Amino acid sequence: MTDPLLAQLKSTFGYDTFRPLQREIIETTLAGRDVVAILPTGAGKSICYQLPALMRSGLTLVVSPLIALMKDQVDALVAAGVPATFLNSSIAPEEATRRRAGLDAGAFRLLYAAPERVMLGGFLADLRRWGVSAIAIDEAHCISEWGHDFRPEYRQLAALRRALPDVPFIAMTATATPEVRRDIADQLALAAPTIFQASFNRPNLRYLVTPKKSGTSQILEVVAARPDAAGIIYCRSRQRTEDLAAALAGAGISALAYHAGLDARTRSATQEAFIRDEVRVVCATVAFGMGIDKPDVRFVLHADLPKHLEGYYQETGRAGRDGLPSDCILLFAPGDIAQNLRFLDELPEDAAATARRQLQAMADFAESDACRRKALLEWFGEDWPHASCGACDNCAAPRERFDATVHAQKMLSCIIRIHQHSRRSVGLRHVVDVLRGSKSQKLIDLGHAELTTYGIGADTSAQAWMSIGRQLIRSGHIATSDDRWQTVSVSALGREALAARTPFSLTRPLLVEPARASSATSELACDEGLFQALRALRKSEADARSLAPYMVFGDQALRHMARTYPLDEASFLAVPGVGRQKLADYGAAFTAAVATWLAANPRLDFGPPPSPKPERSAPEETPSTVLESVALFGALRDLEAVATARGLKVATITQHLVTAIERGELDPDPRDFYAAEAEVELRQAADEHGLAALGPLHGALGGRYPYETLHLFRALQRRAQRSASSTMP
């Protein structure tokens, strides 16, 4: 191998190829430039500063917010043969003195420290003496008040930059809205940093939304269907985490509860047990998360509806950091929306309004029949240029639609009748009660039992009616007030549809359970018996060194071993995740275990191991399907007409056009997509909310513009910006 970066990657970390952006980030920081890297969880951020630390002279300082995580990271590095250490309040004074002596002697390549240490007297002088040559800021979003995890101590890091102006910074995070990203660069006073932003898609995660049943049997089934798999179950309340953990334990599944009401000792013991594979399932509130660096979490189950999509993305993101297939399961009951809304009543009104919008987006996600991955990525402002992801419930088994014309007409006219009769606004629930002919006293007192629409929908369940109502809200036929009552009215669009007898096709409500979740797909096939034997060996080797099992080898490495049956050094070294140090420490034990296994069991044939994906893909040609849409659009100048002509969805045609605009192959007139007045409104909203994420923009515009329009608007804006900046002197 002549490539020094690849050689280092293999010999220390045991990997043969870089993940996307790793090489680019490493080369940029080694060139002495400041870097901001925004990569999703599991993308492999650590290697982006750990590997350069080994390639340059001097010490790399890593600022990390969590003491527990620091120890894990250093343990993992030492296990890979990298001289690393940490300084924080958890170590005894004699030990700290020893470590400082080591640092004075230049014995370490990486030093981890918490941000508050930076302000301790003399630390900056220490850093200069120790020859700090690079500074990595982990979880850099903690510096921003805009982020979900603001830590005031992070603000002090600017002092580092002032004290060490020539040392390159590398700031890493898995979350960054445009505000947070700007804040990171500003607060750290970075010098024209190179920004790397990876796709937030997590290809190995499967997203499933399942109708929730009451009781715990459904959750027990999900867990029991995944034997040996580590998982996190997120619950709404502390009480529920404890009840669920007890129910799981009662069913013979090792499980513990975790929430902020438990004392610090219990919490860290639970965390430790989870990381060391001593407890399989943690039932937790959202308090459980950031300190969890466990790469082999195979499922994240949301037993209750999360409050917002950001949280949902972060929490599901804790599954499958090692890149192996993992499931994200959301149990959804429409009643959860109401339950969450009730919590919001205690907030001050403007905070509550924001929270309600976020909750609405979350509920829309859960009820939508569109690709979950696409919906998530679009919320974060990313295009997902594929019709189907193949790995979410809606793509795997498209939801059935039904002719809901009569239902929609009944509901819309019922809302109109209520308004005419009482001149007052009511919530969706009340409309449903009228439709179903409820005998509630309040309804009768209001005189709503005399309406012509009273009881005309008794044959349809309340749940189905609520679902229909929410779909009509999403489609803009029903408008809702922004206050806590969320009263409903029929919009102009709704009146038009009613007058024109427009047919409605809606998604059948999620009432019946779809086909049972199959086990994770495309996992590296291997000799499962040997895999289990190697897991047991991994656990005992880890315990002997008081390490977490994943620090010895990841599941991926064990699966490779259980497929290639390495019996000698050369074949053991070929296993991804095996570097020089791991070979020296574990080669003998693991090859012996394989030999023992083969003495008693047949060798199974799985063919050659799958080749890893290349780190960089060549720039692609514009696909012919895009060109075809562009040509048709040139002739027809109407999205729907192109969609009809090609037998594709409008959304797909939109993607084609956006691609063509971005590639400079189409320069359309914006008037083909939106009127001049609309453009003014879109611009105003974009100035306020930015264009990075379309979800907030869509919400801010009250859902009046479909995502297709927003995508086209963004593409045209970006094109305009590009051509403006390229003509600047």
The residues of the shown chain that bind Zn ion, judged by CB under 5 A, are 371, 373, 389, 392, 395
Distance CA 67, CA 327 (A): 29
Instruction: Give the three-state DSSP class for 320.
Output: coil
Which residue's CB is nearer to ligand ADP, number 46 or number 409?
Answer: 46
Phi-psi region of 447 (alpha: psi -120 to 50; beta: other; left: phi over 0): left
Residue 698 has which token pair? Answer: 């869509």
Instruction: Give the three-state DSSP class for 391.
Output: coil
Question: How near is the Cβ of 704 to ligand ADP at its closest, in Å?
Answer: 37
Which residue's CB is nearer to Zn ion, number 66 or number 389?
Answer: 389
Question: How near is the Cβ of 23 to ligand ADP at its closest, in Å?
Answer: 9
| C-alpha closest to that of 203 among 45, 370, 389, 366 | 389
Q: Binding marks (x or -) toward ligand ADP, 7..46, rule CB under 6 A?
A: --------x-xxx--x----------------x-xxxxxx
Which residue's CB is nearer to Zn ion, number 389 or number 630?
Answer: 389
Name the helix (H) or strand (E) containing 60: strand 59-63
Distance CA 10, CA 3 (A): 11
Measured in whole angstroms, the distance separating CA 699 from the mean position of its chain's CA atoms is 20
Which residue's CB is nearer to ligand ADP, number 321 or number 689?
Answer: 321
Could you tell which of Zn ion, ligand ADP, none binds residue 15, using a CB distance below 5 to 8 A set by kind? ligand ADP
Angle at 336 between CA 332 and CA 339, to 5 degrees: 170
Question: How near is the Cβ of 24 to ligand ADP at its closest, in Å?
Answer: 13
Q: Is 322 in the site for ligand ADP (CB under 6 A)?
A: yes
Which residue's CB is nearer to Zn ion, number 392 or number 411?
Answer: 392
Distance CA 169, CA 159 (A): 13
Residue 342 has which token pair? Answer: 């009730």
- The neighbour count for residue 492, using CB atoms within 10 Å, is 10
Could you tell which of Zn ion, ligand ADP, none binds residue 322, using a CB distance below 5 to 8 A set by kind? ligand ADP
Are 150 and 144 in contact by the 8 Å Cβ rule? The answer is yes
Question: How near is the Cβ of 540 to ligand ADP at its closest, in Å?
Answer: 21
User: Out of 141, 321, 656, 711, which residue is the one contacting ligand ADP (CB under 6 A)?
Assistant: 321
- Dihedral sign, CA of 361, 362, 363, 366? positive
Which residue's CB is nearer to ligand ADP, number 47 or number 446?
Answer: 47
Could you tell which of Zn ion, ligand ADP, none binds residue 47, using a CB distance below 5 to 8 A set by kind? ligand ADP
Are 472 and 412 in contact by the 8 Å Cβ rule? The answer is yes
Are 468 and 412 in contact by the 8 Å Cβ rule? The answer is no
| C-alpha closest to that of 430 among 493, 503, 489 | 489
Residue nearest to ligand ADP (CB): 44
Which residue's CB is nearer to Zn ion, number 118 or number 395?
Answer: 395
User: Out of 26, 35, 47, 716, which residue is the one contacting ligand ADP (CB under 6 A)?
Assistant: 47
Residue 620 has which token pair? Answer: 């692609």
- Dihedral sign, CA of 650, 651, 656, 661? positive
Question: How near is the Cβ of 42 to ligand ADP at its closest, in Å?
Answer: 5
Question: How near is the Cβ of 180 to ligand ADP at its closest, in Å?
Answer: 17
Which residue's CB is nearer to Zn ion, number 206 or number 560?
Answer: 206
Question: How near is the Cβ of 464 to Zn ion at its closest, in Å?
Answer: 24
Question: How near is the Cβ of 518 to Zn ion at its closest, in Å?
Answer: 15
Could you tell which of ligand ADP, Zn ion, none binds residue 705, using a CB distance below 5 to 8 A set by kind? none
Binding site for ligand ADP (CB under 6 A): 15, 17-19, 22, 39, 41-47, 295, 321-322, 554
